[in-house]
Amino acid sequence: MVLLRSVLAAALLSASASADGVVGSAFGFASGTTGGGSAAAAAPADIKELKEWLTDSTPRVILIDKEFNFIGSEDTCTDCECCIPDSNTCGSKGQNAIKTDGSDWCGSYPTTKCTYDNAGIEGINVASDKSIVGVGSAGVIRGKGLRLVNGVTNIIIQNVHFTELNPQYIWGGDAITLDGTDKVWIDHVKVSKVGRQMIATGYKSSGGVTISNSEFDGQTSWSASCDGHHYWTVLGYGKGDKVTFANNYLHHTSGRSPKLEFNSHWHAYNNYWENNSGHAFDVGEGVNALIEGNVFSNVKTPMNPDSKPGLTFAASSNDTSSCTSALGRACVANKLTSSGTLSGSDESVLSSWPKGESGVKVMSIDNVPTYVKSNAGTGKIGNAGASGSASASVPAATSSATPSASASAHAKRHIGKRHH
């Protein structure tokens, strides 16, 4: 009976709190993000009003209190041009690729006809000062993603499930895109059944971002790796990105979990990778990655080798004390079970770590799987609080976002190919 009362109380907290707006406060590199602030929370009537509220200049707390289904709202592309990439060796169980305007990604691959939903191809351009908050477990945006681009700032996305963006097709749609933005907190989000990236940054800088308590569900009937696992997961391609990636659950993926490039800083802690048939981290040139307190279970390749690897410090039981002088605390070792190896011991990552990552708390590694699986994703926001529990913390500091130029032509060429 006591347990039942606790469960009911947590459920009521989740529904009532998110109905009032954002739960908890942004931490990590997104510290200070307030979204729509004290604006009165309101739920749009339909997809038309949702789009209007997302794109206007008014600070808003937008409640996603039901499913907003964009499929069919921008017509269907019937018998359109697609190609069959060499990754698709399994026919209808694999992913073909949409031939997009201005891109030569398909190159000399064989062509084929395909039918897809236009709404999923490009997301809605969200304006500054917005909180987008799901109510209980009801908040779903189907068939459309969000784009935070061209200098927008101060945005919170919390407790929303993004799903069904042309999952059959590469280039079918990204759930959340960040390109030239600052102060973004993505929390308790779930992403499933997308054609391309679940979250993507770049090419311009995303100066202060936290992605936390979120679920990246790679289970799919159309797999680029032909094994029911989604390949395109998280892509970090922004020059000058500063990202805190914490308490997330990534499962049934096969690559890019995440793939990182260019002059960026990523702090990944207390995440749980499970059932990854390919690689998790792919750390390319220019990246500084601090990886600690994570658990990898049944992950074939936790760290993919790169021909020009970036700088990585992946804490092991032998070097956790190396963090003390730079961060004021010991790092927490990562744990691998039925998985490959996790490499990276470059202490220059620590000595050059930027200021501005406030309120970081790294829990004991033994608590990670249970905590993350019970807390990450939608409809769970009352389970343990938005920012989680912890045992070791990083001292607070002030934030400074770094603007950047667009990526090079070389980057634009190799962003598409699966082997990158």
Find the length of the chain.
420
Q: What is the dihedral of CA 67, 72, 73, 79, to 10 degrees?
A: 150
Give the fold, CATH level 3, of 35-375. Answer: Pectate Lyase C-like (2.160.20)
Q: Which strand (E) or helix (H) includes residue 392?
A: strand 392-393
Taking the chain (420 residues) in runs of 10, the rounded mean pLDDT of each run is 44 53 97 98 99 99 99 98 98 97 93 98 99 98 99 99 99 98 99 99 96 99 98 97 99 98 97 98 96 99 89 94 92 98 95 94 97 98 54 32 33 37
Cβ–Cβ under 8 Å, residues 68 and 52 = no
Catalytic residues: 256
CA distance 183 to 210: 8
Query: What residues have CB less than 8 Å from 382, skipping those under 6 apart?
Result: 10, 11, 12, 13, 14, 15, 17, 23
The pLDDT value recorded for residue 306 is: 78
Query: What residues have CB less than 8 Å from 33, skipping those under 6 apart?
Result: 26, 154, 155, 156, 183, 184, 185, 208, 210
Q: What's 208's DSSP letter? A: S
The pLDDT value recorded for residue 400 is: 30
Stated pTM of the model:
0.89
Query: Quick one: CA dihedral 95, 99, 104, 106, positive or negative?
Result: positive
DSSP 3-state of 14: helix
CA distance 94 to 114: 13
The pLDDT value recorded for residue 384 is: 56
The pLDDT value recorded for residue 18 is: 55
The pLDDT value recorded for residue 307 is: 74
Burial 353-379 (b: 16+ CB within 10 A, else e): bbebbbbbbbbebebbbebbeebbbbb
CA distance 15 to 223: 34
User: Other CB atoms closer than 10 Å to residue 324's CB: what's the count?
Assistant: 12
The pLDDT value recorded for residue 410 is: 34
The pLDDT value recorded for residue 17 is: 45
CA distance 383 to 371: 9
DSSP 3-state of 118: helix
- The number of angstroms, rounded, from the C-alpha of 148 to the middle of its chain's C-alpha atoms is 13
Cβ–Cβ under 8 Å, residues 146 and 155 = no
Domain ranges of the chain: 35-375
Contacts 24+ apart (CB under 8 A), 409-414: 411/202, 411/203, 411/237, 411/261, 411/262, 412/203
The pLDDT value recorded for residue 411 is: 36
Enter the tokens of residue 113.
Answer: 């006809």
CA distance 213 to 249: 7
> Any bridge partners for residue 267, and if so which?
244, 290
